[in-house]
Amino acid sequence: MKDMTAIRPDHAPADHPAIAPEKIGVLIANLGTPDAYDYRSMRRYLNEFLSDKRVIDYPSWKWQPLLQLVILTKRPFSSGKAYKSIWNEAENESPLLTITKQQTAKLAEAMQQEYGDRVMVDYCMRYGNPSTKDKVRAMVEAGCRKILFFPLYPHYAGATSGTANDQFFRALMQETWQPVARTVEPYFDHPAYIEALAQSIERAYANLSKRPDILVCSYHGMPQRYLTEGDPYHCQCQKTTRLLRERLGWDKTRIISTFQSVFGPEEWLKPYTVEEVARLAKAGKKRIAVCAPAFSADCVETLEEINDEIRESFEEAGGEEFTYIPCLNDDDAHIAALGDVIRDNLKGWIG
C-alpha cells in the first residue's frame, strides 16, 4: 500500500522518490490458522506447520514420506472437524484470528494514545495468513525503520517463539533496506501478566457456586527430549504456576501444572493433562478448573481440546464439575500487561 504522506526529502533532486515518514513498527505474532476447515485448507496449513524443523526435528528423509503419505491424508479431516466445531462463522475465520485482531486493535489504540502516529501496530501468523513476510514488507513500505517483533507466547520454546523469530529474520533477509530489529523476550514472570492471570482466576471462581478442588494449569506440551537438549519452556511454565499460586495466596495442593497436545511416539513433558484430570477424578477431586496460561488467545487447543477431549476424560473417570477458564484474550488487564512489555522494549527507540 502506498503511503500518501510520503514526501521528497529536503535538498533532494526533483526526481528523487518520495519517502514515507519514519515510524516504529510493533509486529505481534501468533501461531497461525488455516484459511478454512475444508480438507485442502487444512492440509495446506498442517503441511506448513508439521514441516517446520523447529516443530518436528526428525530427518526429512524419514519424516516427510510419513507426513505426506500417511498423516496428511487423514489428519486434515479430524483437524478440520475440530476447527469446524469452534469456527467463527460470522467472520468466517478461526477464533484465534478473531481474538488476535481484537488484541491488535486495542494495542494499536494504546500505542496511538501514547506515541501518536510514530508507532504502527500490526499482527502476523507464523503459519498461514497473514504471513510474517507480507506484514514486514507492509511495515517497511509504511516507513518503519525499526521493528519490534513480539511473539505472543509468554514462555519461550523453540517450537513457538523460536520458529516465529526464525520467520521474522527470514523476512528481513528479503528487504533491500533492512529495518533495525528487536525481538521481545518471554514474559512468563512479568508481574502484570501474573496479575492478569490471577484476576481471571479470581473472577471465574467468584462466579461458581462451589469452589473447585484444584486448578489445573494446562500448558502446551513438547517432547521431553527438547527439555534435556536445553529448551527452557518446562522451567518457565513451572515458574508461572508458582508465581500464580503465590499471588493467589494458595498452598501447593490447590494448583498443578500439566501438559497437553501430545503428538507422536516420543515421551512428552508430563503429567499429560488428559491423563491427570482422570487421575484427579478417581482420587476424589470431583470439581476442577482448567486454565491455559501458555496461550495468549483461545484456539483449537483450548476451545476444542480442553473443552472436549480433556473434559470428557475427567467426566468419564467420575468427575462432576469441570470449569474451563478462558485465555486472557483481549481482557483489559492482559492488554495492559502486553502494553507494558512493548513499552519496556521500545526504550531507547522512542521517548
Per residue, what are the HEC states of 281-337? HHCCCCEEEEECCCCCCCCHHHHHHHHHHHHHHHHHCCCCEEEECCCCCCCHHHHHH
Number of residues that this document lists for the chain: 351
Q: So what's the pLDDT on residue 351?
A: 75
Cell 504456576 appears where? 241
Q: Which phi and psi angles does 272 have, rounded to 5°?
A: -75, 130
Give the chain's residues under pLDDT 50. Answer: 1-2
3-state secondary structure of 201: helix
Q: So what's the pLDDT on residue 16?
A: 61
How many helices, marked H, and strands, marked E, lie in the chain?
12, 8
Q: So what's the pLDDT on residue 11?
A: 66
Nearest to 29 by CA among 127, 119, 102, 105: 127
Q: So what's the pLDDT on residue 124?
A: 98
Residues 6+ apart with CB under 8 A from 115: 24, 350
Q: So what's the pLDDT on residue 1?
A: 42
Cell output for 97: 484470528
Q: Are 87 and 37 in contact (CB under 8 A)?
A: yes
